[in-house]
């Protein structure tokens, strides 16, 4: 099957949000994957004083954990879906985190400039798995424009064993079936490297990080910067 319609264009109704459907809409495993992404970023050097951007933040599955960890005002989330952002605000409120000045933005072309700042750390969790190659290049180009000189941007993807892997791929852990040209997408590390290069970012494969559905982790930095500690 070939074709692509971004499934996240559909806005949830207030009734659906009240029933908690936003937690399933971003993939479920609300607590497990929420904590997993916070723990990974903290183990990778994220500190409360860092400015952090969560690209495709959805309903703040990870966001509520990052908002609790980061200093007030340091969490920034962007998503194309207004209803998921609204649900995220309700999640923040019920977690007692509404006062911590999370900055949330809605747009569909990954324009991060309205935040008016640069970022030390960033993440796109389960986002590249839902968007085609050209949109990944767009996302990375936008990230590059706001990534601090020694900033680090992490993203997950379904990894195929080689480029132009046209057959469906069943991922043993989690059982997801990914595709070359429809959602959920897979790409080779070589193809991700090309996307990074087009956006002016160097990429390193971190690989397996115990994601329950076998998404692998990537790290992007400015192409001209050698790895080293990130200081805000
Ligand atoms: C599987 S959800 C993951 C959400 C969040 N990262 C998490 O871990 O819960 C994918 C998210 O990517 C967002 N997304 C998809 N395409 C996007 C785009 N073009 N711009 C911004 N966000 C997008 C969706 O709206 C959705 O919230």
- What pLDDT is recorded for position 136? 98
pLDDT in tens, 26-47: 999 999 999 999 999 999 999 9
Name the residue with the closest Cα to ligand 1, atom 17: 80
- What pLDDT is recorded for position 3? 65
Q: Is the pLDDT of residue 7 over 90?
A: no
Determine whether the shortest distance from the Cβ of 79 to ligand 1 is under 6 A: yes
Of the pLDDT bands very low, low, confident and very high (cuts 50, 70, 90), residue 18 is very high
- Ligand 1 pocket test, pick from 127, 133, 136 with the greatest ligand atom count within 8 Å of Cβ, gives 127
Of the pLDDT bands very low, low, confident and very high (cuts 50, 70, 90), residue 181 is very high
Q: Is the pLDDT of residue 226 over 80?
A: no
pLDDT in tens, 57-107: 999 999 999 999 999 999 999 999 999 999 999 999 999 999 999 999 999
- What pLDDT is recorded for position 4? 76
Q: Is the pLDDT of residue 117 over 90?
A: yes
Partners of residue 137 on adjacent β-strands: none
Residue 187 φ then ψ, to 5°: -145, 155
Ligand 1 midpoint to CA 58 (Å): 5
Is pTM beyond 0.85? Reply is yes
Structure-token match 């099957």, residue found: 1
Do the Cβ atoms of 98 and 71 come closer than 8 Å? no
Strands, E assignment, the chain: 52-55, 75-79, 103-106, 119-124, 147-159, 169-170, 177-178, 186-187, 201-207, 216-222
**Among 123, 152, 128, 112, CA closest to 34:** 123
Average pLDDT rounded to a whole number, residues 190-201: 98
Determine whether the shortest distance from the Cβ of 215 to ligand 1 is under 6 A: no
């Amino acid at each position: 099957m070939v074709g692509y319609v971004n499934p996240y264009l559909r806005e949830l109704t207030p009734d659906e949000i009240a029933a908690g459907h936003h937690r399933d809409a971003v993939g479920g495993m609300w607590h497990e994957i929420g904590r997993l992404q916070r723990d990974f970023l903290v183990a990778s050097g994220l500190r409360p004083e860092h400015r952090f951007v969560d690209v495709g933040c959805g309903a703040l599955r990870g966001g509520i954990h990052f908002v609790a960890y980061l200093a007030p005002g340091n969490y920034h989330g962007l998503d194309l879906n207004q209803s998921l952002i609204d649900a995220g605000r309700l999640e923040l409120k019920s977690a007692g985190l509404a006062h911590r000045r999370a900055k949330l933005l809605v747009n569909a072309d990954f324009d991060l400039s309205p935040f008016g700042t640069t970022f030390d750390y960033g993440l796109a969790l389960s986002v590249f798995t839902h968007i085609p190659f050209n949109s990944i290049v767009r996302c990375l180009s936008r990230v590059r424009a706001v990534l601090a000189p020694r900033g680090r941007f992490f993203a997950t993807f379904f990894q195929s064993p080689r480029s132009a892997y046209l057959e469906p791929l069943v991922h043993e852990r989690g059982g997801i079936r990914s595709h070359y040209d429809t959602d959920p997408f897979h790409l080779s590390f070589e193809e991700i490297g090309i996307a990074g290069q087009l956006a002016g970012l160097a990429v390193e494969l971190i690989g397996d990080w115990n994601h329950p559905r076998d998404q692998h982790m990537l790290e992007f930095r400015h192409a001209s910067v050698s790895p080293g500690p990130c200081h805000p």
